[in-house]
Structure 1
Amino acid sequence: MTVLEHTTSSTVPAPHPRRWAGLAVLSASLLLVVMDMTVLNVALPEISADLRPDSVSLLWMVDIYSLVVSGLLVTVANLGDRWGRKRMLVTGFSIFGLASLAVLVADSPGQVIAIRAVLGIGGAMIMPSTLSMIRQLFTDPRERATALGIWATMAALGGALGPILGGALLQAFSWHSAFLVNVPVMAVAIVAALILLPESRSPSPGRWDAIGTVLSMVGMVALVYSIKHFGKDGLTATGALVSGAVAIVALGAFVRRCLRRPDPILEIRLFRRPAFSAGVISALAASIAMVGTMLLLSQWMQLVQGYSPLGTGLRLLPEAVGAVIASPLAPALASRIGARAVLAGGTLVSGLGFLVLFLWPTLNYPVVAGATLLVGIGLGSLAIASAVIMAGAPPEKSGSAAAIEETSYELGGALGVAVLGSVAGMVYRGGLTTDDLAGQGITGSSADVARESLGGALDIAREAGASGARVAAEAQAAFTDSLVWASLAGGALMIVTAVAVWLMTPRDLDVSSGHD
């Protein structure tokens, strides 16, 4: 039996007696971390109004969390395999809670940036630990597929509930509440994890690879940084080009090192399994399309439709409703029609949901609600993607599998903002030309601000006097067009991915049997 083959049914360990209670702890912690990311995005305008950060500080407030998480995922997952996954998870809970409590003394942009960085450390410890511990708790493949369906549901629910919770907190309290809400929940999570979760670690971790650790951290941070800044500053931006070159060199050396070592820090050889690769690709594509399009949708609802942050969060619920319905059903459906059909079919359904936004003649909320419901139903297939990814790794390599999946989501989010954001920006600027603005008396730096973002255009319109209403209407129409074309790009990506997943995934793949 090779290192990538599964244990046979005769050697599968007995299921843990408290596995379902343990799943509740893991799912709740994932729900909170995902919610926290979106809560903070909603809170950023109030943080900016209170602390008055300059443009560089504001950029770091937004970027630092994802940079820290992406840099640490591989290292933390490998360390959890050695040190103990439960210990890593509880440590992540503690760091997340203490960093959230530190907001009470934060009174400058630099301190908020530092808190966001420490939250990233805690998040990097929590995210892959939840997946790898599910692999350890649920030794029966059929139960594991169901557990991963619940895990995927919590991820989707967290993304939807975050803006709602953030909007409700900000309407009643200051921006500090977006951090402080984590503290009591993390305290409960620590106690529950200590009582309910078993400890697990790799039985033969091998030697720690210090060089590989440094290469992975440098390479991932440089890659995410370059993707973000290519999207913001263009393909010729010097900083993005330099960081991109650093990423290529560091990650190339990291991959070669992992392939040559018998005990690599990340099991790159897992990609030799087509089903594993298909699961990762589907997760990556879904994250690109979802993050990019949903970011534009939330801005469209607030700046074009005029909804409040809380109202916007509530109106984005159909996507979560679809995912909550479909994710738990995906494993049972896969047992009837096959994992390949569910994985590729769900990806296709999500792609069609995005295409509805492009093809419908007039964009309004009922159309958006129907389209996002369709997207959410399709995203139920990500439960199968997680099952395929985790089933494709032996128990001792569950940390590597979890790190690869979480990295695909992290990279997908950065690519979604950069690539689909660039598509939207190009369409927006094409619909709001300098000649159009000059005709309304807006030139020079004011025109540049208006063409940079819809928020900037609306600020300029409010100062433009009699012509302001027309400028605002033209900017809102241009932004709506940019959302429509970005949705086309996201939908096309999902449809192409569906075809690729169908071709790559074995026809007889059965995640309930534990092997492909």
Structure 2
Amino acid sequence: MTAGRRWAALAVLSASLLLVVMDMTILNVALPAISEDLRPGATELLWMVDAYSLAVSGLLVTVSALGDRWGRKRMLISGFALFGVASVAVVQADSAAELIAVRALLGVGGAMIMPSTLSMIRNLFTDPRERATALGIWSAMAALGGALGPILGGLLLEVFSWHAAFLVNVPVMALAIVAGLILLPESRNPAPGRWDALGTLLSIAGMVALVYGIKHFGAVDGWLALTVAVVTLAWFVRRCLARKDPLLEIRLFGGPAFSAGTVAALTTSIAMAAMMLLLAQWMQLVMGYSPLETGVRMLPAAVGAFVVSPLAPALAARIGARTVLAGGLLVAGVGFLVLFVAPSPLGYGPVALSLLLVGAGMGSLAIASAVIMAGAPPEKAGSAAAIEETSYELGGALGVAVLGSVAAAVYRAHLAVPDGFPAQAVQESLGGALRVAREAGEAGALLARQAQAAFTDSLAVTGAAGAALMLVAGIAVWWLTPRALDLSGHRELIEHR
């Protein structure tokens, strides 16, 4: 395949990532409008966010293995089609349950798209230097999607209902299908071996149970789900290690650099998912920004990542992949810490600085992707892609569930509900408290201010938790990544340090 055709194919693959990230970030901006229209409870609101991640996490391993067999191009094009169909279905969604179902269907399409793009990049770019550059561009497109999503969502919500935030996917998916059919080459594992039906069931059941257990941690059904997850996933891992042709190549974790890249992907996703969701709500419900203004004010994170991601491979060649990867996590940690140490009351200035630092730190994930994909042979690209994407999606669910729960607990602890107001509705969410305050007229003004202050406090504490997580991750990645790891040459080192 000629160099020009390879880079044209990368453009299609990067555009695929761009759209999926846009869809996730559009939801953050649209959530207040969706909440106002559908009036979901706190649990339903979390499911609206997590249904996508749950579907993707549960299906990534299976879909990646199917793509290796059936053809990665076919899987990608089919994912485009399903994503478009699900986006049309949102027109019929007039309840929280129906929207959750649409989000789950979008997750199935996302599971077909995301690992296909990564595994195809691994097979298109066999030269490590070119592959690192390609993955830097791929990561930059994720940053661009993070920038365009809120802005496009804000523009749409200024004119149309929240349904438009989903319908915008339809024409883009149609174009992606046409471009993919013309430009993308087909690739597959030439010797995939026998299909592991039991492993398929174990991976799906285990991942779904794991995400459900995280969401319902502390409840009886949550503990039961976590027990099921431990049993099924342990069985799945043991089965993969015992087979010559496993559904997922667990042995890739034998390389500490591969493990380091996975840790970086998981932890950054945990912190980012929670903070971006909280910041989108803070800007609209506390600062009073419109959806469009919120999208524009979220730009610093995308700008930082968009600038750093393409430069990360060259920087790694100069000072080492380990320094760039661990250093990026620490820079992101400083960004999260800014939210905690900023003077009260919190204003947009410190938030903009925080977003810029976090985005710049996230640029190191271009190196994480290069490390992960370099550690996998071409025929195992699907497994490497599944592991990386599972880390992102599971991290997103963990972030919303765990750090989101931390934020909710701080919000409730800092909010003293005045007499005469329904405590449950007020403490359930900031949106609920503001609805109660509006219905109370002038008497609700004090409640609104108290609720907004409590939410801002919860944002600051969650920022501190995100900073601690980034510090721990940075230390772990520094320890795991081989000192002499070379992503620009033809040596792919797996020895420790």
Letter of the aligned partner of 1:347 in structure 2? L
Query: How many Å separate the matches in 2 of 1:427 and 1:48?
Result: 21
Residue of 420, 426, 447 corresponding to 1:442: 420
Q: How far does the alpha carbon of each residue in 1:178-233 deviate from its partner, in whole angstroms, 9 at most, with x for none?
A: 22211211111111111111111011111000000000001111111121222xxx
2:112 is aligned, of 109, 113, 125, to 125
Structure 2 partner of 1:390: 373
Q: Is the 8 A contact 1:16 1:137 kept in 2?
A: no
Residue 19 of structure 1: CA displacement? Answer: 0.8
SS of the equivalent of 1:28 reads helix
Equivalent residues in 2 for 1:47-66, closer than 5 Å: 47=34, 50=37, 60-66=47-53
Match of 1:222 in 2: 209
State which of 227, 231, 239 in structure 1 corresponds to 2:221.
239
Helix, strand or coil at the partner of 2:149: helix
C-alpha separation in 2, matches of 1:166 and 1:495 = 33
Cα deviation digits, residues 236-256 of structure 1 (max 9, x gap): x12211211111111111111
> Is residue 263 of structure 2 the alignment partner of residue 281 of structure 1?
yes
Is the contact between residue 212 and residue 257 of structure 1 (CA under 8 Å) also seen in structure 2? yes
Native 8 Å contact 1:145 1:384 kept in 2: yes
Corresponding residue number in structure 2 for 1:74:
61
Distance 1:25 1:254 in 2: 34
Cα-to-partner distance string for 1:67-99 (whole Å, 9 max, x where unaligned): 211111000001101111111111111111222
Distance in 2 of aligned mates of 1:117 and 1:431: 34
The structural deviation recorded for 1:497 is 0.8
Q: 1:403 aligns with which of 371, 378, 386?
A: 386
- 3-state SS of the aligned residue for 1:18? helix
In structure 2, do the counterparts of structure 1 residues 285 and 467 end up closer, same or farther at CA, with 3 Å as the change threshold? same
For the pair 1:462 / 2:445, whether they are aligned, the reply is no
* Distance in 1 (alpha carbons) for counterparts of 2:246 and 2:103: 30
Cα distance between partner residues in 2 of 1:214 and 1:242: 18
Q: Tell me the CA shift for residue 360 of structure 1.
A: 2.0
> Structure 1 residue 500: deviation in Å?
1.0
2:172 corresponds to: 185
Amino acid at match of 1:511: L
Matches of 2:270 and 2:4, distance apart in 1:
38
Structure 2 vs 1, CA of residues 215 and 97 (structure 1 numbering), >3 Å: closer, same or farther?
same
Cα distance in structure 2, aligned partners of 1:144 and 1:293 = 31
Residue 102 (structure 1) aligned to one of 71, 84, 89? 89
Residues 418-455 of structure 1 show CA distances to partners (whole Å, capped at 9, x for unaligned) of 2211221222222113xxx3xx3235xx1222222222
TM-score between the two structures when normalised by the length of structure 2:
0.94
The TM-score, its normalising length taken from structure 1, stands at 0.91
Q: 1:224 to 1:312 in 2, by over 3 A?
A: same
Partner of 1:10: none
Report the CA distance shift for 1:376/1:54 in structure 2 as closer, same or farther (over 3 A): closer
2:286 and 2:133 mapped to 1: Cα distance?
A: 40
1:105 Cα shift? 4.8
1:364 is the counterpart of 2:347: yes
1:309 alignment counterpart = 291
Structure 2 residue aligned with 1:431: 414
| Cα deviation code 1:297-323 (max 9, x no counterpart) | 111111111111111111010000000
Note closer, same or farther for the CA distance 1:271–1:337 as it changes in structure 2 (3 Å cut).
Answer: same
Q: What is aligned with 2:305?
A: 323
Evaluate the alpha carbon distance shift between residue 45 and residue 306 of structure 1 in structure 2; reply closer, same or farther with a 3 A threshold: closer
Identical-residue share of aligned pairs (%): 71
Q: Which residue number in structure 2 is paired with residue 471 of structure 1?
A: 447
* Superimposed CA distance per residue, residues 155-196 of structure 1 (whole angstroms, 9 cap, x where no aligned partner): 122123212211211211233322221121111111111111
Of residues 199, 204, 211, the one that matches 2:191 is 204
Q: Do the aligned partners of residues 54 and 484 (structure 1) sit closer, same or farther apart at CA in structure 2, a change above 3 Å counting? A: closer
Query: Is the contact made by 1:15 and 1:138 (CA closer than 8 Å) also made in structure 2?
Result: no
Q: Is the 8 A contact 2:54 2:397 kept in 1?
A: no
| Contact 2:119 2:382 survives alignment (8 Å) | yes
Q: Match of 2:51, as an amino acid?
A: I
Aligned-pair distance for 1:41? Answer: 4.1
Distance in 1, matches of 2:375 and 2:154, equals 40
Distance in 1 separating the partners of 2:470 and 2:34: 35
| Superposed displacement of residue 55, structure 1 | 7.3
Alpha-carbon deviation of 1:54?
7.3
Q: 1:108 to 1:499 in 2, by over 3 A?
A: closer
Amino acid across the alignment from 2:385: A
- How far apart, in 1, do the equivalents of 2:402 and 2:86 lie? 32
* Cα distance in 2 between the residues matched to 1:107 and 1:484: 34
CA distance in structure 2 between the partners assigned to 1:110 and 1:298 by the alignment:
23
Once the two structures are TM-superposed, the CA of residue 410 in structure 1 deviates from its matched residue by 0.6
Q: Which ranges in structure 1 are unaligned for 5 or more consecutive residues? A: 1-13
Q: What is the CA distance between 1:47 and its match in structure 2?
A: 4.5
Unaligned runs of 5+ in 2: none
Q: Aligned residue pairs: how many?
A: 491
Is 1:352 aligned to residue 334 of structure 2?
Answer: yes
Say if 2:18 and 2:142, in contact at 8 Å, map to a contact too. yes
Give the RMSD, CA atoms, in angstroms: 1.9
Contact 2:273 2:400 survives alignment (8 Å): yes
Is contact 1:70–1:220 with CA below 8 Å preserved after alignment?
yes
Match of 1:36 among 23, 28, 47: 23
**Pair 60,340 (structure 1): closer, same or farther in 2 beyond 3 Å:** closer
Distance across 1 between alignment mates of 2:2 and 2:369 = 19
Change (3 A) 1:289 1:187: same
Q: CA deviation at 1:40?
A: 3.3
| Residue in structure 2 matched with residue 497 of structure 1 by the alignment | 473
SS across alignment from 1:98 = helix
1:91 partner amino acid: S
Give the conservation status (yes or no) of the 8 Å contact 1:347–1:494: yes
For residues 262 and 275 of structure 1, do their structure 2 counterparts lie closer, same or farther at Cα, with a shift above 3 Å needed? same
Q: Distance in 2 between matches of 1:319 and 1:263?
A: 41
The answer as to whether partners of 1:15 and 1:140 remain within 8 angstroms in 2 is no
Structure 1 residue identity aligned to 2:331: V
Q: What amino acid sits opposite 2:157 in the alignment? A: L
In structure 2, C-alpha distance between the alignment counterparts of 1:60 and 1:487, rounded to whole Å: 23
Shift of 1:16: 5.3
* Residues 15 and 139 in structure 1, CA contact (< 8 A), matched pair in contact too: no
Instruction: Provide, for residues 112-159 of structure 1, a one-character-per-residue CA deviation record: whole Å limited to 9, x for no partner.
Output: 444333222111100100100000111111011011011111112212
Question: 1:42–1:360: structure 2 CA closer, same or farther, 3 Å change rule?
Answer: closer
Taking the aligned partners of 2:35 and 2:361, their CA distance within structure 1 comes to: 36
